[in-house]
Structure 1
Amino acid sequence: MLIRKGDKVQVITGSYKGTVGEVLKAFPKENKVIVEGVNVVKKHQKPTQQNPEGGIIEKEAKIHVSNVALYDEKAKTAGKVGIRIETDKDGNKVKVRYFKKSGNEIKDKK
């Protein structure tokens, strides 16, 4: 799975098509992600110590990773992602994600 937490993605299918948001959480074993503002569902919650009032809350639900594409902010489009192996200044081999169409490198947020 080439999409990670903190990446900007664009929804490419479904009722939220065209929406751009940040990945809040990634589930690589399930091939699903939670995107900010996408697939919002209402959940009935009992009162707890953290939420003493309970009630109906809105939260984002998981969406399959095939329904989103990484968003290139420089080119203002969503695109496919590739991986190249480069060497860093210490001589170590490092995997680098990049957009196949524009060639722009994807910076990891660490």
Structure 2
Amino acid sequence: MSRIKTHVNVGDTVEVIAGGAKGAKGQVTSINAVKGTCVVAGARVIKKTLKKSEQNPEGGIAEVDGPVHLSNVKKA
């Protein structure tokens, strides 16, 4: 698969300029260029349910960083 160019890279500090997380600043932890999204640490925290497993016998709810569309972020 060929590399798709984006205006931000992993490790860049960015600011969210639109959406529910508007005004949040953080570091880019991952990029999905095919979907056009990136994960910004601390910007869009979502709750995810966890199934019972050996690592997590109780199951539960975890807070993880959610994706933000690339058009909604700019370099800070």
Normalising TM by the smaller chain, what interval? 0.7 to 0.9
The CA RMSD over aligned residues, in Å, is 1.1
Aligned position for 1:40: 45
Superposed CA deviations along residues 64-110 of structure 1, whole A, max 9, x for unmatched, are 00000011xxxxxxxxxxxxxxxxxxxxxxxxxxxxxxxxxxxxxxx
Please identify the structure whose Cα radius of gyration is greater. 1
Measured in 2, the distance between the counterparts of 1:32 and 1:58 equals 19
Identity of aligned residues (%): 39
Report whether the alignment pairs 1:2 with 2:13: no
Aligned position for 1:31: 36
Q: Tell me which of 53, 58, 65 is aligned to 2:63.
A: 58
**TM-score, normalised with respect to structure 1:** 0.60
What letter corresponds to residue 75 of structure 2 in structure 1?
L
Structure 1 unmatched ranges of 5 or more: 72-110
Q: Higher RCO, 1 or 2 (CA under 8 Å, sep at least 6)? A: 2
Offset, 1:53: 2.6
Q: Tell me which of 55, 67, 71 is aligned to 2:72.
A: 67
Structure 2 unmatched ranges of 5 or more: 1-5
Q: Give the total of aligned pairs.
A: 71
Measured in 1, the distance between the counterparts of 2:11 and 2:75 equals 11
3-state secondary structure, aligned to 1:53:
coil
